[in-house]
Amino acid sequence: MMTENLTLNMNAYLPLRDVVFHTLREAILKGDLKPGERLMELQLASRLGVSRTPIREAIRMLEQEGLAVTIPRKGAEVAKMTLKGMEDVLEIRESLEELAVKLACERITPEQLKKLWEVKESFEDCIRTGEVKRIAEADVLFHDVIYEATANPKLVSILNNLREQIYRYRVEYLKDSGNYPMLICEHKAILEALEERNIPKAIERMRAHVANQAAAVREMIERQE
Amino acid sequence: MMTENLTLNMNAYLPLRDVVFHTLREAILKGDLKPGERLMELQLASRLGVSRTPIREAIRMLEQEGLAVTIPRKGAEVAKMTLKGMEDVLEIRESLEELAVKLACERITPEQLKKLWEVKESFEDCIRTGEVKRIAEADVLFHDVIYEATANPKLVSILNNLREQIYRYRVEYLKDSGNYPMLICEHKAILEALEERNIPKAIERMRAHVANQAAAVREMIERQE
DNA sequence: CCTCTGTATTTTGTATACAATATGCATTAT
DNA sequence: ATAATGCATATTGTATACAAAATACAGAGG
């Protein structure tokens, strides 16, 4: 049974389909809507106080993002993530994070480098507070700055999509405070390589960083099963 | 003015949204619906003989695939591809084609290798006929077999999406028969490296193959502008 | 006890009605 | 002439109605 309190953030002028899309997306990523849970149009419509039309359009969008799966005439449900599926995502992500950091090396602006230092500091602050949610956000922000520095919006959107798919599991990784010292160190190392614009070094360090996360996520999923 | 004859391939049991989606997708890739052309719901609905509902859902799907762009309360139009956008796609594609061929080296089965030889032969046959459409299909098939050999469906779907976005321009490349000898040679070289399971060699050859196509597409777009 | 079948109910698929917004054009004021 | 205004029209946004299919379940037959 679903007991969560889904509410719409009625930002006035966005079409309802977009508001519903963002709401459901958040709910899936936060785990309020669990993998395998059915997304029934009438139920969601009444819970969100809209008609079925915007719900259906939002589901079509979630579907293309890989967050929902629709079976014709049966309905949609929250996508389940298998160990294999996770491995697949991590495999691609390793490749594209390396591309991203390579491009960032070539294209990052002084302003973006400055921003990255600030974000790195803020990440360390968040770790000192120990609040997992803020740590996760700061970590996301660090990578976001690098993504932006690639000046390749299409790449940014693919990387964001891949991150989204492992989000639920990655948060667990960040709950283990034993990982914090290494994380701080890795971020620092990547940032330094970017500052030197040393592509091989940056790629190597990013590879290690992503590989560590990947290993942790894999371990976590195996533990779950 | 749109004068094309869009007709639905009424495959009975697929929901209309999927039929409409595939129809519009094809029309965009073939160039029947041109970049910047508006996708008006009522017009498409009457042309395809369905109501607005499946049209709208199909548009939401096209949107997430990057083939259409929607401006709220204004409507959707076929996505325009800029030179920059194309460069961005090619950049990612180079990286992921290398990943794909690496994974294929590790995972390709004897059956898939056999299939790849057949497809290579068929590609050469098609080139002898000189029919561009068949050549394009055979070329797509060659890469498809490699994609499948990665055993990573998520990667396959991203690569297909990237290919889709440059499809319109890539066809032009295949119209120039001067490129055929090199294409045949490159396919052969990649296939041999796969057969040897020589990862560095396969990656290097795929890199060259994609780089050639990329260069040609870039040149084509610059000529267009 | 199990399976099959028919029926009521739920849920999705599609069409359509109505509302809100944007657009185009003629008209008016400057 | 040009810009601003208002109205008619076109188009999208949302809700709802109805159709079709899937599902759940009860009862009949083996």
- pLDDT number for residue A216: 84
pLDDT at A10: 53
Q: Which residues of B touch A72 (CB under 8 A)?
A: 13-15, 18
Give the mean model confidence (pLDDT) for residues A64-92. 94
Provide mean pLDDT across the span B157-179. 87
My answer on whether B125 and B196 are in the same domain is yes
What six digits make up the tokens of A161? 């999509």
Least confident of A54-63, A133-142, B94-103, B139-148: A133-142
Q: Are residues A49 and A91 in the same domain?
A: no
Q: What are phi and psi of A22, to 5 degrees?
A: -65, -40
Q: Which two tokens stand for residue B151?
A: 């055993």
Q: Is the pLDDT of residue B12 over 80?
A: no
Q: Collapse the DSSP code of A31 into the 3-class scheme (helix H, G, I; strand E, B; otherwise coil) and give the result.
A: coil
Q: Which of A30, A45, A78 marks a domain boundary?
A: A78
If pLDDT is split at 50, 70 and 90, which confidence band does B222 have?
confident
> Which pLDDT does position B11 carry in this prediction?
58
Nucleotides on chain C that have an atom closer than 7 A to a protein CB are 11-17, 21-23
Cα-based torsion angle of the residue sequence B136, B161, A96, B107 in order, rounded to the nearest 10 degrees: -60
pLDDT > 90 in chain B, percent: 75
**pLDDT tier at B169, thresholds 50, 70, 90:** confident
In this structure, the dihedral spanned by the alpha carbons of residues B169, B172, B174 and B178, taken in order and rounded to 10 degrees, is -130
- The CATH number of the domain holding residue B55 is 1.10.10.10
Select from A78, A99, A130 the last residue of a domain.
A78
Other CB atoms within 10 A of residue B43 CB: 12
Q: How far is CA B202 from CA A46, B119, B145, in A?
A: 55, 18, 15
**Residue A167's pLDDT is what?**
85
A50 burial level (CB within 10 Å; 0-12, 13-18, 19+): middle
Residue B203 lies in a domain: yes
- Give the pLDDT band (50/70/90) at residue B179: confident
> Residue A3: inside a domain, yes or no?
no
Both B44 and B139 in one domain: the answer is no
pLDDT per position as a tens digit, A179-200 = 899 999 999 999 999 999 999 9
> Percent of chain A at pLDDT above 90?
75
Q: What is the CATH number of the domain that holds B137?
A: 1.20.120.530
Measure, in angstroms, how far nucleotide C20 C1' is from residue A75 CA: 30
The parent domain of residue B38 ranges over 16-78
Residues B56 and B124 in one domain: no
> Three-state SS for A159?
helix
Give the burial class of A96: count Cβ atoms within 10 A of its Cβ; 0-12 exposed, 13-18 middle, 19 or more buried.
buried
pLDDT for residue B161? 95
Q: List, for residues A109-124, the tens digit of each pLDDT value.
A: 999 999 999 999 999 9
By a Cβ cutoff of 8 Å, what residues of chain B touch chain A?
13-15, 17-18, 53, 56-57, 60-61, 63-66, 72-73, 85, 88-89, 91-92, 95-96, 98-99, 103, 152-155, 158
The beta-strand segments (E) located in chain A are 38-39, 68-71, 75-78
- Domain-terminating residue out of B54, B78, B102: B78
A6 part of a folded domain: no
A2 has a pLDDT exceeding 60: no
Rg (CA), chain B: 19
Span B205-223, mean pLDDT? 86
* Helix or strand (DSSP H, E) at A208: helix A199-224
Segment A79-86 shows an average pLDDT of 90
Q: Is residue A2 part of a domain?
A: no
- Looking at residue A104, its pLDDT comes to 98
Both B108 and B211 in a single domain?
yes
Residues B64, B154: one domain?
A: no
> What residues have CB less than 8 Å from B183, skipping those under 6 apart?
B127, B139
> Is the same domain home to B31 and B132?
no
pTM of the model: 0.91
Question: Whole-number Å distance, CA A2 to C1' D21?
Answer: 25
User: Helix axis angle, B132-149 relative to B153-175, nearest 10°?
Assistant: 160
Exposure string of B7-28, with b = 16+ CB inside 10 Å and e = fewer, is eeeeeeeeebbbbbbbbbbebb
3-state secondary structure of B82: coil
Q: In the structure encoding, which two tokens stand for residue B3, read together?
A: 């004068």
Query: CA at B53, C1' at C15: how many angstroms apart?
Result: 8
- Claim to verify: residue B114 and residue B219 sit in the same structural domain: yes
Q: Are residues B29 and B114 in the same domain?
A: no
Q: Sorting pLDDT into bands at 50, 70 and 90, what band is B223?
A: confident
* Percentage of chain B lying above the pLDDT 70 cut: 94
B204 and B117 co-located in one domain = yes
Substitution target from B92, B160, B207 for chain A, most A beta carbons within 10 A: B92
Q: Which residues of A touch B (CB under 8 A)?
A: 13-15, 17-18, 53, 56-57, 60-61, 63-66, 72-73, 85, 88-89, 91-92, 95-96, 98-99, 103, 152-155, 158
User: How many domains in chain A?
Assistant: 2
Contacts of A95 in chain B (CB under 8 A): 95-96, 98-99
Whether residue A203 sits in one domain with residue A95: yes
Q: Is the predicted pLDDT of residue A3 greater than 80, yes or no?
A: no
Nucleotides of D under 7 A from a protein CB: 11-17, 21-23
**Residue in the block written with tokens 């919006």:** A153
Do A138 and A161 share a structural domain? yes
User: What number is the average pLDDT over the span B57-83?
Assistant: 95
Q: How confident is the model at residue A147 (pLDDT cuts 50, 70, 90)?
A: very high
B193 lies in some domain: yes
Task: For residues A115-141, give the mean pLDDT.
Answer: 92
Q: What are phi and psi of B32, to 5 degrees?
A: -65, -35
Q: Tell me, in Å, how far CA of A154 is from C1' of D9? A: 38
- Residue A42 falls inside a structural domain: yes
Chain B residue with minimum CA distance to A75:
B15
